[in-house]
Structures are given as C-alpha cells and as structure tokens.
Amino acid sequence: MTPAPLVALFKADDNDHKRCLDFLERHPGPVLTEVCRLVESRAGPEVEAQFLQSIIDGVLALEAIISADIA
C-alpha cells in the first residue's frame, strides 16, 4: 500500500482529495494501515509493533477522521 490516499487527504488541491476524504470518513482503518506501512518502512518492524502495542495499551487511540478535522 502506498501513502497516496493519505497524501491526497491533506492536499486540498489534489485531484483525489474529495474522494479520499469521503472514503476515509467512512473507513478510518486505511489510515492506520498506511501509518503502519510508513513506520515499518522508515523505522523497522520493531517500532511498528511498538506503535500497535501503544494502541492496544490505550496510550494512543484510534479516531475517525471527519471533514471538520481538516477544515
């Protein structure tokens, strides 16, 4: 998985911005998988595992993305 949808989410002038925003508001899971992929590729699988464990332990929380978060 590439980070392209996440990039489009934060670039209002991207051709896929609205489509990605609409999708991610309904399906927040892809952001988590993209963050995992980014962390694993930049910092390694051990750090990715620590990131996921922090969610399990309640240190970090998963939140749905809504339009108001970006506006």
| pLDDT tens column, 1-42 | 456 776 777 778 888 888 877 877 776 666 788 888 888 888
Instruction: Kindly give, in sequence order, each residue whose CB lies less than 8 Å from that of residue 8, ignoring residues fewer than 6 positions away.
Output: 14, 15, 16, 17, 19, 20
Q: Which amino acid is at 53?
A: Q
For residue 60, the enclosing domain spans: 4-70
Mean pLDDT of 41-61: 89
Q: How many domains does the chain have?
A: 1
Identify which has the larger pLDDT, 14 or 65.
14
Give the pair of three-digit tokens for residue 23. 């999708």
